């Protein structure tokens, strides 16, 4: 008998999954029960047939590669991570190589991925692994979580994928799949967050092949159970899925109200002396801490000089329009501790903020 016929009733093990506490709606029909083990079996079989081919997936996963890829994948699309991952691993093939590198070099290899705090924490954790753990990753979720930048999700990913720990991981894709599977209609980004989903995920993850199971949930969310127009007719979990069975797929997961976008206007001032320009490093607590950019001007100083163009970018809920002006200097000003005069042709070698890099291109073009 096929999976869809055997699973007439969806009745989760509420003690194991925490489903009751989460107040999640459950579809019940006559007959058998849809147990987490059945979900696991079906999902693992689907994964064996359909998994994505990704450069960090290996038959015996290396915790270092899993870790680097998972940190890169936070806030960044898989397709974009592919090329960065390969380049990063060529330059820092082991945790020892990463620990021995200088921070500007690490940031340079991170440039373009954004959210540079991730790179700094990756670097700090690599040093800790080498100096305090003899170069070996801790093999428990608690041990992994004691490292900088490794939270619940990343510890679960490394633990389950590299060390076969039966621990859940919940990220955007698996969160959506689980919410729909059990019909969890409350917003996951509102109060209470996605804690109920973590509890359900903990009850689903099987003792055998937990890493594959977690990756299968993520792949299903990325390829089949997509945010818009999911392919339920091709989904291996369709017969067990509460959202699908009750026609609520489009409504789950619900979205909390978004913060309104704030418009910000600023001016980047490119001070130029001959072939050199003044750049400054973003300080602690600023967006893009540790990366180079052009100074921002205010008042009349920001209105002087030739306009090179406009760079627009978004950070969190801010939408920023940055006018770029070039001021030709007859002599170099004395740079502050955070500033430096650099040749326009050397800007490529600096780790720069995303808008800084775009301004640098305007500067390079203006000299053509």
Which residues does the annotation mark as catalytic?
70
Give whichever of 226 and 314 is closer to ligand SF4, judged by the CB atom.
226
Q: Which long-range contacts (CB under 8 A, 24 or more apart) does 176-180 make?
A: 176/221, 176/225, 176/227, 176/253, 177/217, 177/220, 177/221, 177/225, 177/237, 178/204, 178/217, 179/243, 179/252, 179/253, 180/225, 180/230, 180/241, 180/242, 180/243, 180/244, 180/249, 180/252, 180/253
Structure tokens at 334: 């004395």
Beta bridge partners of 307: 325
Helices within 56-194 (DSSP H only): 63-73, 78-91, 95-100, 103-110, 117-132, 141-145, 152-163, 172-182
Q: Which of 149, 138, 194, 189 is nearest to 168 (CA)?
A: 194
Question: Is residue 10 close enough to count as binding ligand SF4 by CB under 6 A?
Answer: no
| Cα 76 to Cα 312: distance, rounded to the nearest angstrom | 20
User: Please, which residue, 32 or 223, has the CB nearer to ligand SF4?
Assistant: 223
How many residues form the binding site for ligand SF4 (CB under 6 A)?
14
Helix 103-110 × helix 78-91 angle, to 10°: 150
Could you identify the residue written with the tokens 């979580």? 145
Q: Smallest distance from the beta carbon of 250 to ligand SF4, in angstroms?
A: 9
Q: In this chain, which of 224, 268, 270, 352 binds ligand SF4, going by CB under 6 A?
A: 224
Degrees to nearest 5, angle at CA 46 with 41 and 51: 130
The answer to whether residues 22 and 196 touch, using CB atoms and an 8 Å cutoff, is yes
Residues 6 or more apart in contact with residue 232 via CB below 8 angstroms: 224, 238, 241, 244, 249
Q: Does residue number 204 form part of the binding site for ligand SF4 (CB under 6 A)?
A: no
Among 75-83, 227-235, 288-296, 298-306, the segment contacting ligand SF4 (CB under 6 A):
227-235
Q: Contact between 217 and ligand SF4 (CB under 6 A)?
A: no
Q: Give the sign of the dihedral formed by CA 15, CA 226, CA 314, CA 56.
A: positive
Stretch binding ligand SF4 (CB under 6 A), from 34-42, 137-145, 243-251, 302-310: 243-251
Shortest spacing between CB 46 and ligand SF4, in angstroms: 10
Q: For residues 241 and 291, which CB has a smaller minimum distance to ligand SF4 in the complex?
A: 241
Does 235 interact with ligand SF4 (rule: CB under 6 A)?
A: yes
Q: Where does residue 4 fall: left (phi above 0), alpha (psi -120 to 50 degrees), or beta otherwise? A: alpha
Residue 242 beta carbon to ligand SF4: minimum distance, rounded to whole angstroms = 8
Stretch that binds ligand SF4, among 92-100, 152-160, 232-240, 332-340 (CB under 6 A): 232-240
In whole angstroms, how close is the CB of 257 to ligand SF4 at the nearest point?
23
If binding is defined by CB under 6 A, does position 232 make contact with ligand SF4? yes
Does 200 help bind ligand SF4 (rule: CB under 6 A)? no
24 near ligand SF4 (CB under 6 A)? no
**What region does 288 belong to: left with phi over 0, alpha with psi -120 to 50, or beta?**
left
Is 125 near ligand SF4 (CB under 6 A)? no
| 181 touching ligand SF4, by CB under 6 A | yes
Is there binding between residue 238 and ligand SF4 (CB under 6 A)?
yes
Considering only residues 123, 175, 184, 244, which one is a binding residue for ligand SF4 as defined by CB under 6 A?
Answer: 244
Nearer to ligand SF4, 174 or 353 (CB): 174
Q: Which is nearer to ligand SF4, 243 or 291 (CB)?
A: 243
Instruction: Give the nearer residue to ligand SF4 in terms of CB position, either 111 or 171.
Output: 171
State which residue, 180 or 358, has the beta carbon closest to ligand SF4. 180
Q: Would you tell me which residues interact with ligand SF4 (CB under 6 A)? A: 177, 180-181, 224-225, 230, 232, 235, 237-238, 241, 243-244, 249
């Amino acid at each position: 008998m096929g999976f869809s016929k055997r699973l007439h009733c969806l009745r989760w093990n509420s003690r194991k999954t925490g489903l009751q506490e989460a107040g999640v709606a459950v579809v019940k029909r006559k007959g058998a029960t849809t147990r987490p083990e059945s979900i696991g079996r079906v999902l693992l079989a689907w994964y064996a047939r359909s998994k994505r081919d990704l450069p960090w997936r290996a038959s015996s996963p290396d915790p270092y590669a899993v870790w680097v890829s998972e940190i890169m994948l936070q806030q960044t699309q898989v397709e974009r991570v592919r090329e960065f991952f390969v380049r990063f691993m060529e330059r820092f093939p082991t945790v020892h190589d990463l620990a021995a590198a200088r921070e500007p070099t690490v940031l340079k290899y991170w440039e373009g991925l954004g959210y540079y705090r991730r790179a700094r924490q990756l670097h700090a954790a690599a040093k800790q692994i080498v100096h305090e753990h003899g170069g070996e990753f801790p093999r428990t979720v608690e041990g992994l979580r004691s490292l900088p930048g490794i939270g619940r999700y990343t510890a679960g990913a490394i633990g389950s994928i590299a060390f076969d720990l039966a621990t859940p991981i919940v990220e955007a894709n698996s969160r959506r799949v689980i919410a729909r599977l059990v019909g969890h209609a409350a917003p996951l980004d509102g109060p209470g967050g996605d804690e109920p989903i973590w509890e359900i995920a903990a009850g689903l993850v099987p003792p055998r092949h937990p890493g594959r199971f977690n990756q299968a949930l993520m792949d299903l969310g990325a390829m089949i159970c997509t945010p818009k127009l999911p392919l339920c007719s091709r989904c291996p979990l369709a017969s067990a899925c509460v959202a699908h069975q009750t026609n609520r797929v489009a409504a789950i997961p619900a979205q909390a109200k978004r913060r309104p976008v704030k418009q910000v206007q600023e001016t980047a001032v490119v001070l130029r002396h001959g072939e050199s320009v003044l750049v400054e490093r973003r300080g602690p607590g600023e967006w893009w801490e540790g990366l180079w950019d052009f100074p921002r001007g205010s008042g009349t100083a920001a209105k002087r000089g030739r306009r090179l163009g406009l760079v627009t970018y978004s950070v969190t809920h801010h939408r920023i329009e940055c006018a770029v002006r070039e001021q030709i200097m007859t002599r170099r000003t004395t740079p502050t501790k955070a500033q430096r005069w650099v040749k326009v042709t050397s800007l490529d070698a600096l780790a720069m903020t995303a808008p800084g890099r775009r301004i640098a291109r305007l500067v390079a073009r203006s000299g053509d």
